[in-house]
Amino acid sequence: MGELNDMELMINELSCNGQFPDFKAFSEAIDRLMLMRSICRKFGRELYCHRNLTHVQVTRELNMHQVVQCFDVDKRRALMQWFTRQGPFWEDIREHDSDDYIECQDEIVTDTAIGEVAFRCFKGNDSQVVSLTPSNWEYSPLQIYWKRTSEESLEIDVLNHFDTESLEKNLHSSAALIESWSQLASICLSRFVAITFSTDTFKSLLGYPFLPGVAQRIIERLEVLEKLKNSVDSSGNRTTEGHRLYQEHFTGDKAWFSDSSDTEKRDFKSELTFKHPGKDGSSLFCTMHGKIKTPQIRIHFTLPSQTDPELYVVYIGPKITKR
């Protein structure tokens, strides 16, 4: 079985399903996709595709192979070489099985790039998808369910890039390969200067098996907290950007951040109480937390307030409130 480098990117073939109204719209979408491939290569990564990509429906009447024939000779040759001969093809390094039941948007995505990326994310890899636009896949992250048994279902968020800006930004932030929790800690301490970390913040991770994908998700969530800290005015109130960030990441079923339940606050009061990073002898009851679903990692923090403008991150490690 082949090996990929630290971030794995695959074309979401489900984002091309006959929705393009005409040749011009599809041509523009392909130009964006080729630009995204160039961005991947700029950072030393490849954009994997499926061998059957040329068979997907582009318009109501024509599939990819038929439409590509209308491109000029250079563009046609470049695409056909990528999609049919050169690849790389994710089937060659496939890890998920056809018997795996993987679901997204109430649709079974086994045997697709989304299924493969999700499976790799469940294993701790940093795997992401790239989608064509316009399509029904213009949102991120994608919420994926892996139904292992009739009783057990794992859930994970998969990053989906549908514009060049988000892709380039993510690749840039991942440019330095993180190889250990201690390296992650030093990167976070130097990068997120608006956040106040306690001396024990990363301690619980150190005995835990290192997973590059989880390290990247920790960084993504700390990025949101850093932006939130910088989106508070002098009176301690959230700015317009702060309200947008809160709405996007702290509300709804797919929220990255939430508060502990009343039961958890009662039953785990001691475990959720941490040393205050800025006041010796004081403590903080930190029930707000960022979530990584598979494996269950939590980031416990306090939000800035009028009484204390700092944003403290006091714990990053395995879920504390497990029963």
Residues 128, 168: Cα–Cα separation, whole Å: 13
Q: Which pLDDT belongs to residue 202?
A: 96
pLDDT of residue 4: 36
pLDDT score of 6:
58
Rounded-to-integer distance, Cα 139 and Cα 221, Å: 17
Return the number of other C-beta atoms located less than 10 Å from residue 66's C-beta: 14
* pLDDT at residue 175 tops 80: no
Whether pLDDT at 151 is above 80? no
Q: Are 87 and 49 in contact (CB under 8 A)?
A: yes
**What does the alpha-carbon distance between residue 255 and residue 44 come to, in Å, rounded to a whole number?**
32
- Quote the CA–CA distance of 68 and 128 in Å, as a whole number: 26
What is the per-residue pLDDT for 241?
Answer: 86
Give the mean pLDDT of 159-176: 85
pLDDT tens-place string over residues 50-108: 999 999 999 999 999 999 999 999 999 999 999 998 889 999 989 999 999 999 988 99
For residue 294, give the nearest of 230, 181, 213 by alpha carbon: 213
pLDDT of residue 45: 82
Average pLDDT, the chain: 89
3-state SS, one letter per residue, for 188-230: HHHHCCCEEECCCCCHHHCCCCCCHHHHHHHHHHHHHHHHHHC
Looking at residues 123-135, what average pLDDT do you find? Answer: 91
pLDDT above 70 as % of the chain: 97
Which range among 20-24, 215-219, 303-307 shows the weakest confidence by mean pLDDT?
303-307
Residue 183 has pLDDT above 60, yes or no: yes
| pLDDT score for 2 | 35
The arithmetic mean of pLDDT across residues 208-215, rounded, is 87
Angle between helices 212-229 and 240-250 (to 10 degrees): 150
Whether the predicted pLDDT of 187 surpasses 90: no
Lookup: tokens for 205: 């991770």
The answer to whether 108 touches 5, Cβ cutoff 8 Å, is no
Residue 116 pLDDT: 95
3-class SS of residue 252 = coil
3-state helix, strand, coil in the chain (%, to 5): 35, 20, 40
pLDDT at 3: 36
Residues of the chain above pLDDT 90, percent: 61
Contacts by residues 53-61 (CB-CB < 8 Å, ≥ 24 positions apart):
53/11, 53/13, 53/16, 53/83, 54/80, 54/83, 54/84, 56/13, 56/16, 56/17, 57/16, 57/17, 57/18, 58/16, 58/18, 58/20, 58/26, 59/18, 59/20, 59/21, 59/22, 59/23, 59/26, 60/18
The per-residue pLDDT for 1 is: 30
- In the prediction, which pLDDT does 285 show? 95
The answer to whether residue 266 scores a pLDDT higher than 60 is yes
Residue 134 DSSP SS3: coil
Residue 253's pLDDT is: 79
Residues 27-56 pLDDT 10s: 999 999 999 999 988 877 889 999 999 999
The pLDDT-based confidence of 309 (bands split at 50, 70, 90) is: confident
Poorest-pLDDT segment among 106-120, 126-140, 254-268, 302-316: 302-316
Position 125 confidence tier, pLDDT thresholds 50, 70, 90: confident
pLDDT value of position 177: 67
Residue 198 has pLDDT above 60, yes or no: yes
**Best-predicted range by mean pLDDT among 245-254, 255-264, 276-285?**
255-264
